[in-house]
Chain A
Amino acid sequence: MKDLHDLFRQSLAGLRVLVVATLLLGLAYPLAVTGFAAVAAPWRSEGSLVTADGSRTTDPDQAVGSELLGQSVTDETLFQPRPSAAGDGYDPLSSYGSNLGPESPELLAAITERQAVVAEREGVEVADVPPDAVTASGSGLDPDISVAYAELQAPRVAAANDLPEDEVDALVVAHTEGRTLGVLGEPRVNVLLLNVAVREAAGRG
């Protein structure tokens, strides 16, 4: 009984602490960070949006996407992103991976099918299709592809846009981001920024 009474007393003290904690940590802290973000990094804090000509904006109505988020590319003349397991593909309202295990028959079938599709689309052998082209990312919103996958797609994109292959290759190189500090992460190509640049070069911007 005494313990129960004590527990009740401690819970009341806990409630008082929690109320103050909520005001400080649940309102003051996140709102202060939001205020700082709006002043110091308005573009980034709003989601790193870019327009059709590649310039930065904070207005979603002007934007064609976020530099940080992958998006479905239905336009066959452009670079294609990785497969996505988020909703029907690149849906930020249901970000996630497939969660299929390494021996999953479903995953094996999906990889085989994607390899065939990519090989046919790019006119290459199945063995030349890089792994990121046939696997879904963890978020389903991966903005990047590997350098190998970008290089694989360059001839098709060049042909479809009436651009010299050299020029598209140069765009891929220009949009390749190396490892940070030489060791962090992987070399990669941002698909949205690359596609914006391709459209600019082709005079479609």
Chain B
Amino acid sequence: MSELLPALGQVAVLVLLLALTVPLLGRHLARTYTSESHTRLERGAYRALRLDPDADQHWRTYALSVLGFSLVGLLVLYALGRLQHLLPLSLGFDGLPADGAWNTAVSFVTNTNWQWYSGEAALGHLVQMTGLTVQNFVSAAVGMAVAAAFARGLARTHGAGRVGNFWVDVVRGVLRVLLPIAVVGAVVLVLLGVVQNLAAPRLLETLSGGSQSLTGGPVASQEVIKQLGTNGGGFYNANSAHPFENPTPLTNILAIFLMLLVPFAMAWAFGHIVKDRRQGVAVLSVMAILLVVSVTLLTWAEMAGPGSAPALAGGALEGKETRFGTAGSALFGAATTGTSTGAVNSTHDSFTAPGGGVALFNMMLGEIAPGGVGSGLYGMLMLAVLTVFLSGLMVGRTPEYLGKKIGQREIVLVAAYVLATPVVLLTALAVAVTAPAGVAGLQESGPHGFSEALYAVTSASNNNGSAFGGLTSGTPFWNTLLGLCMLLGRFVPIIAVLALAGRFSSQRPLPPGPGTLSTHRPLFVVLLTGVALVVVGLTYVPVLTLGPIVESLS
């Protein structure tokens, strides 16, 4: 019992922090994505960048802006990686190999932050700052922009397919939301002990006369946006388990808070944007329910410690830090896979079988509990449309969501969204476990080895980025395959979301009739939760059976 109280207490601290901040940030986000006025700084930026901030983009143009911006980001990051040995502050590291640079470029542009390399042994400070930190900000801003465009599409009465201006959304997302919070967060992290300097690795003599490298770097400034933007790419290989990234239980709870902040606030903002706050609360409730369930299960699994190794050692502490313990590691694990962050403060590969299974299932949900910044909201809204459609079928009425009719074209787009990730994921998994080059990367054989491959393709396709670290993924085969997973898993769904936003924006809303399913009541919350679980369950139960379920039963 004495272990259980602190475990509950840390959740209470987290809930308190979120309850105080989510409504405030939600309202601010809604203003950010709907206000017609620009600040003076933004006006100057648009002029200098030769952008017309008042152009209302058709969804196709909006989508092309997303793709164009991401394409350029990818090319620049690829070049930075390949050419890093020619750049200052490279710490003597070589340029990345072609497959590695491709993987990393895709990884950070898609907000995945899968890392095949070890940060302290492969990347210099300049690439970390100008390449990775920058994409940490802008890939998050892109996700938020797409979600905002979808919310506006739903809110408009005769938008003629127009959904807003991508460049304005990105600029505001960075200047009004991400950067201010990041600056405050970085200051707090520095004061709590996170490292921040530009030093090259130096040797020091240890207490018992050995030597140890001291690896500094601009860590705090990257750490905060890594969590806030649900990116997850660690400065160091050990990610948030590394004491320089996450030195104390306080920085740990702050990291968890930062991961969850924007995804929940986006749901709150949604209610404001569609001018019915109850809709936002309903969506937020589903996210919260799923998160609470996964936190509970994961915490139970890690604290109870089923399995041979935890039983032998007396606790599931392999891969966990003393300062966080099982509860602090489990809470972090649930948050990082429920959002699309993918940072880890303990090695998920060493989680108990049910614990690792919960982390996997969280990612398979499409990361909607509460999901990535932006991607969590649009993922949940796509499922909401699906829920309304299914309910409409049951009672034989034309389904509508927020007054927008869901016809054949609309539901086709939702289906494309829902199916895109599983198709990418399962195809990649089939390739990985049949190709010798794929199997060669697995650390373990049998069900746990299968779980390593499953975890990797799930993490990549859902843009999470956490890993069962036993997998040796830095090979041309895995780098190329996972790069493709991340790319398709990010942009195919985004195109479906924007296309649907465009269709909704052209529709005049129908007034609610007596047969309309109200989408803010507890009944709908339950239905939506059920749909989320059933869709994932039906899609992934076979592969989960081959991996974590077999392992739990053996």
Contact = CB atoms under 8 A, between A and B. Distances in A.
Interface of A: 3, 6-18, 20-22, 24-27, 29-30, 32-34, 36-38, 40-41, 44-49, 52, 60-61, 63-66, 68-75, 78, 82, 86, 90-104, 107-108, 111-112, 115, 129-132, 134-146, 179-186, 188, 192, 195-196, 199
B190 A18 contact: no
Given A93-B201, A101-B349, A111-B309, A47 B195 contact: yes
B247 A68 contact: yes
Contact of B204 (A7, A61, A111): A61
A99 B347 contact: yes
A181 B14 CA distance: 13
A107 B309 contact: yes
A49 B444 CA distance: 38
Interface centre among B308, B322, B324 (most CB of A within 10 A): B322
Contacts of A46: 195, 197, 199, 216
A96 B344 CA distance: 11
A183 B241 CA distance: 19
A16 B309 CA distance: 53
B313 interface: yes
B207 A199 contact: yes
Interface of B: 5-6, 8-10, 12-13, 45, 48-51, 60-61, 64-65, 67-73, 76, 118, 120-121, 129-131, 133-134, 137-138, 167, 170-171, 174, 179, 182-183, 186-187, 190-199, 201-210, 212-216, 218, 220-222, 236-238, 241-244, 247-250, 252-253, 306-310, 312-325, 328-329, 344-347, 349-353, 356, 443-444, 448, 451, 468-470, 551, 554
Given A22-B134, A95-B242, A99-B349, A184 B221 contact: no
A29 B132 CA distance: 13
Contact of B238 (A52, A66, A138, A145): A138
B6 A179 contact: yes
B322 A188 contact: yes
Given A135-B318, A138-B320, A14 B242 contact: no
24 contacts: A14-B70, A17-B171, A22-B134, A27-B129, A33-B187, A34-B221, A49-B204, A64-B204, A64-B207, A65-B206, A72-B208, A75-B207, A82-B322, A86-B238, A92-B214, A94-B120, A96-B118, A97-B238, A102-B316, A103-B309, A107-B318, A182-B9, A183-B8, A199-B207
Interface centre among A7, A34, A94 (most CB of B within 10 A): A34
Contacts of B65: 10, 13-14
The 5 closest A-B pairs by CB, nearest first: A185-B249, A183-B9, A10-B68, A138-B241, A102-B307
Given A18-B138, A25-B137, A179 B191 contact: no
A167 B214 CA distance: 32
B129 to A, nearest CB: 5
A135 B61 CA distance: 54
Given A13-B68, A98-B318, A104 B209 contact: no
B190 A44 contact: yes
A148 to B, nearest CB: 10
A14 B207 contact: no
A132 B250 CA distance: 21
A183 to B, nearest CB: 3
Contact of B350 (A3, A11, A97): A97
A14 to B, nearest CB: 4
A30 B129 contact: yes
B401 to A, nearest CB: 29
B510 to A, nearest CB: 32
Contact of B206 (A20, A64, A132, A139): A64
Contacts of B213: 91-93
Contacts, number: 385
Contacts of B179: 24-25, 29
Contacts of B353: 101-103
A17 B346 contact: no
B41 to A, nearest CB: 11
A183 B331 CA distance: 13
A151 B444 CA distance: 36
Given A11-B71, A17-B167, 8 more contacts: A6-B61, A26-B130, A33-B218, A60-B204, A69-B244, A99-B350, A139-B242, A186-B322
A103 B182 CA distance: 40
A7 B68 contact: yes
Contact of A186 (B167, B324, B344, B345): B324
B248 A185 contact: yes
A139 B207 contact: no
B129 A141 contact: no
B322 A144 contact: yes
Nearest to A75: B208
B190 A41 contact: yes
B222 A74 contact: no
B347 A138 contact: yes
B243 A68 contact: yes
Nearest to B471: A99
B289 to A, nearest CB: 23
A95 B163 CA distance: 45
A61 B310 CA distance: 40
Given A13-B167, A69-B244, A142 B321 contact: yes
Nearest to A103: B308
Given A38-B197, A78-B208, A99-B468, A145 B250 contact: no
